[in-house]
Each structure stands twice: as C-alpha cells, then as structure tokens.
Structure 1
Amino acid sequence: MTMLDDEDLQTLQHEVQRLLGRCMLRLQQYERLIKAMVAHHKVSGPFHDLERARAAQIDETARMTLGTLVGDLLGSYVVADEFDLPEKTTASSPENVNWFAMQMSLSLPDAEFTRVESELREMVLLRNNLVHHFIDQHDLWSSDGCRRAKDALVIAYTRIDQHFGQLREWAEGMEKMRQALSEILQSEEFKDVFVNGIAPDGKVNWDASGIANALREAFRALAVDGWAPVAEAGKWVAKLHPEQLPAKYGCQSWRQVVHNASILELRYLEIDGQRTACYREKDSSATH
C-alpha cells in the first residue's frame, strides 16, 4: 500500500511540475510581449538620432519587472477616455533640432478601463504567487495537496492564456499603427520637412536643417583650435552624408550654407599663408 501511495504521489508531483512549467512558459511569453509593447508604443528624440533613443528605451524596458511594465502600459498605452497626452516630451525638446515625438494609445471607456486595470493588476499578483509563493500555498508532499495544486494551476493557466490573448490583440493593433506610421516616416515629403527642414513651399528652417546638422557633425570631427575649414567640412559631409549638399537647399556653396545657418559662425582665417573660410558652432545664447 505504501509503495502504491508513493508512486501515486510521485505521479501527482510530476504532473504539478508539468503544469507549473506550462504556466511559467506562458508567463514568459506574456512578459516578452508586454515589454515589446511598452518599448515601442512611444518614442521621442532628435529626428537624426531617433534610433539611438529607441534603442535606449528598449534597453530600459528590458530591465523592468512585470509590475512596472503593467503600470507603464496602463498609464501610457491603455488609457481612459479622458486621458491627455503628456506635454513633457515637447516641452523638454531642445531648440534648433528637429525633435520627433510619437505615442500610440488605446482609449477605453472609463468602466472598461477600470475592469482592464483590475485584470492587469490581478495578472501581476498571479505571476508573483506562482513564482514566489506557490510552494508555500500548496502541500506538495501529500496526494490531496498535489491534487489541489493541479486544480489551481489549471485555473491559473486559463487566466494567463486569456490575458495573453487580450495582450496579443492589442499588440496586433499597435503593429498596424506602427506600419502605417512607418510608411509616413519613409515618405520623401516627411523627410524633407522633418529631416531636411525644407517646407513644402521651399522655405528652409536652416538651424534645424539636415545640412546644418551634418556641418555640426563635421565641425566636431575636424575642428582645430575651435574652428573648422568650410571646404574640408564640405568634403567630409559629401562623403558621409551625400544626400546633404548645398544644391538641395538652393545654395551655390558651402559658405552660403554656413552663412544662412544662424547656429554657425563664418570667419576668414589665415591658414598656411592663405585666407581660408572657417566656421564654428555658436553658443546657444548667441543665437537669440
């Protein structure tokens, strides 16, 4: 009788282990998906350096706990009808930079939002109980305890799977919005306005233009004693940013570009006995 009881207990314990493992795998799928949603539903930063801002956000999200992820998702993507977009992303954007900010959200009626919020909080509690407290809550050294644990794990998996299904629906909707936005961002019209600073009427926002940003990069690479030769900078930009050339902005020369951009200062210096056009970045206070 004892041998049969021991075999029965071991079988039950193995089944509990299998069911617990199934729950953990589903939870990992859930956490991976919610991390992706939190990481990609919004982004802000200088348009020319947007990929770095996106990568930093992904890295930050990867270290979040499920509780933090749920809090972020609720406060930012899943929102109530009365939700107002935060102003901090635009209020903190620097001057003379094409700053891009995007945020997608799923707006729900107040009652629906309250229900979803409760369910997501329940998901966090369920996950924590399974990970940290399951052995304390169930006697896995008795047949009856194992049977109760099995029943609890079946119920837990059903709830996790339901939550995962809902999250997947949200993720699919987000992905459709991202694809639509990507098509807009890749259009030539969008690039002209937000990357190059060229308005549809041809007017150029010089200080936030793509060519001015390229010249600022060139200055940091070539400057000696606080100045960089305009001609050398032009060659540097033409090699590394061939799409950023004076003709694109209606200019005849690199000197004309530097002259038009108020964030850059043009000065003629004597270098190796020759009068040479040079430039530098102005202090931000000097442009006002």
Structure 2
Amino acid sequence: MTMSNDDELRTLQRDVQRLLGRCMLRLQQVERLIKAMVVDHKLSGPMNSLEQARSTQIDGTALKTLGTLVGELLGSYFVAGEIDPNEGTETNSPENVNWFAMQIKLGLPAAEFVRVESELKELVRLRNTLVHHFIDQHDIASSDGCRGAQETLITAYAHIDQHLGQLREWAVTLVKTRQAMSEALQSDEVIDLVVNGISRDGNVNCDASGIVNALREAFDALAVDGWASVAEAGRWVAKRYPEELPAKYECASWRQVVHETHILELRYFEMDGRRTACYREKERPAKSP
C-alpha cells in the first residue's frame, strides 16, 4: 500500500511539473511578444543610425520584468480616448541633426482602456504568483496538494493562453500599421522632406538637408586648423554623394549652400596667394544654467 501511494504521488508530482513548465513556456511567449511591441511601437534617433537606435532599444528590454514592460505599453501604445493626429512625439533630439521620431498608439475608449489595463496587470500578478509563490501555496509533497496544484495550473494556463491570443491580435495591428507607415515613408515626397529637407511646395530647410549633412562629414575629413576649403569639400561630397549637388537645392555654388545654412560659417583666407572660401560649423551658444 505504501509503494502504491508513493507511485501515485510521484506521478502526480511529475504532472504538476509538466503543467507548471507548460505555463512557464507560455509566459515566455507572452514576454517575448510584449518586448517586441515595446520596441516596435516607438523609435527615434538620427536618420543615419536608426538601426543602431533600434538595437539599443532591443538591448534595453532584455532584462526588464514583465511588469515594467506592461507599464511601458500602457499610456504609450495603449492610450485612453481618441488620438490627436496633430499631437507630436516628444523627443530629446540634439540641434542641427536630421532626426527621426515615430510613435504608434492604439486609442481605446475609456472603459476599454480600463479593461485592458486590468487584464495586463492581472497577467503580471499571475506570472509573479507562479514564479515566486507557487510552492508556498501548494503542498506538492501530498497527493491532495498536487491535485489542487493541477487544477490551479490548468486554470492558469487557460488564462495565459487567452491573454496571449489577445496580445497577438494587438501585435498584428501594430505590424500592419508599421508596414503602412514604411510604405508611406518610402514615397519620393517624404524622402525629399526627411532626407533632403525639401518640402512639397519646394521650400528647402537647408539645416536639415542631405547636402549640409554631407558637408559636415566632409569637414570632419578635411578640416585643418578648424577650417575646411569649400571647393575641396564640394569635390569630396560630389565623389561620395553624387546626388547631393547645389543645383538640387536651387543653389548656384557650394559657397551659396554654406551661406544659406544657419549652422555653417563662411570665411575667406589667403592660401598660396589666393583668396579661398572656407567653412566650419558655427559654435553653439552656451545654455544658461
């Protein structure tokens, strides 16, 4: 009789372990999906290093808890009420840098937002209970304790699976929105505005233009004693960025490009007996404390 009871207990314990492992695997799927949503719904950084910015965001989520990740989605991706299309995305972008920022939001009616918030927090509590308190709550050294644990784990798995299904629906919505945004960003008009600083009406924002960014790169490569030759920089840019030429921005010369922008300073020096146009980036005024 003792051997039979021991065999039954070991069988029950193995089944509890199986059910608990099944819940843990489902929770890992939930966490992976939420991490992807945290990363993919929001992105900002210099235009020329967005992939690096995204990699940094991915690394930043690696060690975050499920509770922290859910907190980042609530009020950022999931928001209560209608979304104002004119509302800008807050960024701490440095001055005179071609900066990209986007944020996707899912606007929910107030009651729906409260429900989503409650369900996500319930999921976090369920995860923490299974990970940290399951053994305290169930005596798996007894057959009755194992049976109670089985019932708890079967119910928990059903709840986790339900949450995962809802998260997948939200994730599909996010992916479709990103795809639509990506297609829009690849239009010629958007590329001209974002990359080249040329708006639909033909106005040019020189400071945000591709040609000015190219001149800044040329300065880093060519500057001597804090100044670079405009003519030499023009040849440097034309060789590496042949699409970035003054005529594209309705300028007659490289000197006019430098003159038109507010972030570059133009000055003339005597070099080898010739008057030579040189440039550098203007010094930024010190911010008051």
Corresponding residue number in structure 1 for 2:40: 40
Q: Deviations over 1:98-140 (max 9, x none)?
A: 4332211111111111111111111001111111111111111
Corresponding residue number in structure 1 for 2:99: 99
How much has 1:186 moved relative to structure 2? 1.1
Q: Which amino acid aligns with 2:148?
A: R
Q: Which amino acid aligns with 1:230?
A: V
User: For the structure 1 residues 218 and 252, does the alpha-carbon distance in structure 2 shift closer, same or farther, using more than 3 Å as the test?
Assistant: same
How much has 1:15 moved relative to structure 2? 1.0
How much has 1:17 moved relative to structure 2? 1.1
What pairs up with 1:1-80 in 2 under 5 angstroms?
1-80=1-80
Contact 2:211/2:244 (<8 A) preserved: yes
Corresponding residue number in structure 2 for 1:111: 111
Larger mean Cα displacement after TM superposition, 81-90 or 19-28: 81-90
Corresponding residue number in structure 2 for 1:135: 135
How much has 1:94 moved relative to structure 2? 4.2
What pairs up with 1:239-250 in 2 under 5 angstroms?
239-250=239-250
| Larger proportion of helix | 1
Q: Determine whether 1:156 maps to 2:156.
A: yes
Give the secondary structure class of the aligned counterpart of 2:175: helix
> Structure 1-normalised TM-score?
0.90
| Aligned equivalents of 1:217, 1:51: Cα separation in 2 | 20
How much has 1:278 moved relative to structure 2? 1.7
How much has 1:87 moved relative to structure 2? 5.9
Give the secondary structure class of the aligned counterpart of 2:113: helix
| Aligned equivalents of 1:130, 1:149: Cα separation in 2 | 11
| Aligned equivalents of 1:43, 1:113: Cα separation in 2 | 23
Q: Which amino acid aligns with 1:218?
A: A
Q: Which amino acid aligns with 1:35?
A: K
Larger mean Cα displacement after TM superposition, 111-120 or 237-246: 237-246
Contact 1:259/1:265 (<8 A) preserved: yes
Corresponding residue number in structure 1 for 2:190: 190
Contact 1:258/1:266 (<8 A) preserved: yes
Corresponding residue number in structure 2 for 1:208: 208
Give the secondary structure class of the aligned counterpart of 1:128: helix
Contact 2:89/2:103 (<8 A) preserved: no
Give the secondary structure class of the aligned counterpart of 2:90: helix
Percent sequence identity over aligned pairs: 71
How much has 1:53 moved relative to structure 2? 2.8
Corresponding residue number in structure 2 for 1:221: 221
Give the gaps of 5 or more residues in structure 2: none
Q: Determine whether 1:234 maps to 2:234.
A: yes
| Aligned equivalents of 1:248, 1:31: Cα separation in 2 | 48
Larger mean Cα displacement after TM superposition, 167-176 or 211-220: 211-220
Q: Which amino acid aligns with 1:215?
A: L
Q: Determine whether 1:126 maps to 2:126.
A: yes
How much has 1:57 moved relative to structure 2? 2.2
> Structure 2-normalised TM-score?
0.90
Corresponding residue number in structure 1 for 2:284: 284
How much has 1:47 moved relative to structure 2? 3.3
How much has 1:189 moved relative to structure 2? 0.8
Larger mean Cα displacement after TM superposition, 274-283 or 64-73: 274-283
User: For the structure 1 residues 271 and 240, does the alpha-carbon distance in structure 2 shift closer, same or farther, using more than 3 Å as the test?
Assistant: same
| Aligned equivalents of 2:193, 2:82: Cα separation in 1 | 32
How much has 1:182 moved relative to structure 2? 0.1
| Aligned equivalents of 1:208, 1:141: Cα separation in 2 | 68
| Aligned equivalents of 1:200, 1:115: Cα separation in 2 | 43
Larger mean Cα displacement after TM superposition, 186-195 or 169-178: 186-195
Corresponding residue number in structure 2 for 1:89: 90
User: For the structure 1 residues 36 and 44, does the alpha-carbon distance in structure 2 shift closer, same or farther, using more than 3 Å as the test?
Assistant: same
Q: Determine whether 1:172 maps to 2:189.
A: no
| Aligned equivalents of 1:267, 1:150: Cα separation in 2 | 80
